[in-house]
Amino acid sequence: MNLKRKIANEEKINVALLGATGMVGQVFAWMLSRHPWFRLSYLAASNDMGGMNYGKAVNWHLPVPLPRRAAELSIDPLPADWGLLEERDIRVVFSALPAEKAADVEPELRERGFFVFSNAGALRTRTEVPVLIPEVNVGSLELIRDQGFPAGGFVVCNANCSTTGLVLALSPLRRFGIREVTVSTYQSISGAGYPGLSALDIMNNVIPHIGNEEEKMIVETRKILGEAFPLFPRCVRVPVMFGHLETVWVEFTQAVSTGDVAAAWNTFESGAGALPSLPARPLLYEANVACPQPRHCFAGYPQGMPVWIGGLQAREGRIGFVLLVNNVIRGAAGGSIANAEAFVSIYGDE
């Protein structure tokens, strides 16, 4: 199947979505229903809904309407009959499964020759699996050859949501020599999935620990940037629906001014070139101390894909700033879709 030729012929590429009813699955359903290259053609979740369609099965939580096309698709339980995907000419699979389930399903799909773009943490630490942010490390896609492509399938992961925002903001600052980074996150409840946290736990409260999140930030930042500077994360859950805010302090090996840093962000361009889901400017810096705020995380173009930065300051030889990443879009489904676009644009004629 030559995926590039399909696009050139204005045909769409059929894709499957696993974990379709969850928080990330809903964003996939929304983004894929209006995607210029991909056509959502198969949905699965955990429960057998007896052929019920997605519109009835899903408890829709996004601040955008549920697309009619997705609402009309029927939804299958897992384990699915993978032969059905082959019959429907589907090779590209988006996974929004919990890590425990992904650990079984994603390698199985790869063995059957599918191209899996995953949000789950299950395989991120495997050396042959890229953790991809197209603007930052598109060269790591080469690893799909170590997994068997083009004769076979592969799994490509996106980073954890907080890591994605941090890495995008740090990437253009590497030219100044990063010595050390301290980051505190203020993470929204949608990051815990649906139904996620109990209202009694999070209403009128802040939870100063998110299981394994700090370790993920350290390991994934190192894998994506290929640099081993000390990183000191503290991850906290706050009663906000969408959007993770992060306060960051960076120490550099060179003398750096706030002007140097702002210029590096303002001129940062994608290393992956133009793709339908990548913003022309991945980092939107505003010199306004009240920015960014989670309530604006569905803004931007493509919606929810840029990382917003503000609160820039210099103190005691360090640079401080605040960033905002839409955890369910840029930090999850939108990131995965951009990864699939990068794959199609680079390897789609193999």
Residues designated as active site:
161, 244
Is residue 191 near ligand NAP by the rule CB under 6 A?
A: yes
Coil, strand, or helix at residue 57? Answer: helix
- Laid out side by side, the sheet with 92-95 consists of 75-77, 38-45, 13-18, 92-95, 115-118, 154-157
Q: What is the largest distance, in Å, between two alpha-carbon atoms of the chain?
A: 63
Q: Which position among 3, 13, 16, 21 is part of the footprint of ligand NAP (CB under 6 A)?
A: 21
Comparing CB distances to ligand NAP, the nearer of 45 and 155 is 45
How many residues contact ligand NAP, by CB under 6 A?
Answer: 28
Is residue 67 near ligand NAP by the rule CB under 6 A?
A: no
Is residue 305 near ligand NAP by the rule CB under 6 A?
A: no
Q: Which stretch binds ligand NAP (CB under 6 A): 138-146, 207-215, 306-314, 323-331?
A: 323-331
Residue whose token pair is 């569905």:
298
Q: Which position among 140, 190, 277, 345 is part of the footprint of ligand NAP (CB under 6 A)?
A: 190
Is residue 327 near ligand NAP by the rule CB under 6 A?
A: yes
Tell me which residue has its CB nearest to ligand NAP: 22
Gyration radius of the chain's alpha carbons: 20
Q: Which position among 181, 256, 325, 332 is part of the footprint of ligand NAP (CB under 6 A)?
A: 332
Comparing CB distances to ligand NAP, the nearer of 35 and 244 is 244
CA dist list (Å): 309 to 69, 102, 251, 288, 349: 35, 33, 18, 9, 37
Is residue 78 near ligand NAP by the rule CB under 6 A?
A: yes
Is residue 243 near ligand NAP by the rule CB under 6 A?
A: no
Is residue 55 near ligand NAP by the rule CB under 6 A?
A: no
How far apart are CB 197 and ligand NAP at their closest, in Å? 11
Q: Which position among 4, 12, 69, 101 is part of the footprint of ligand NAP (CB under 6 A)?
A: 101
Please answer whether residues 75 and 53 qualify as being in contact, where contact means their C-beta atoms are separated by less than 8 angstroms.
yes
Tokens of 193: 């999935």
Please answer whether residues 96 and 119 qualify as being in contact, where contact means their C-beta atoms are separated by less than 8 angstroms.
yes
Pairing of strands 75-77, 244-252: unpaired
Is residue 97 near ligand NAP by the rule CB under 6 A?
A: yes
Q: Which position among 46, 184, 293, 303 is part of the footprint of ligand NAP (CB under 6 A)?
A: 46
Q: Which position among 7, 14, 15, 25 is part of the footprint of ligand NAP (CB under 6 A)?
A: 25
Cα 150 vs. chain centroid, distance in angstroms?
A: 24
Q: How far apart are CA 51 and CA 151, in angstroms?
A: 34
CA dist list (Å): 70 to 19, 20, 40, 66, 211: 14, 10, 7, 7, 33
Positions touching ligand NAP (CB under 6 A) are 19-25, 45-47, 78, 96-99, 101, 119-121, 161, 190-191, 193-194, 327-328, 331-332
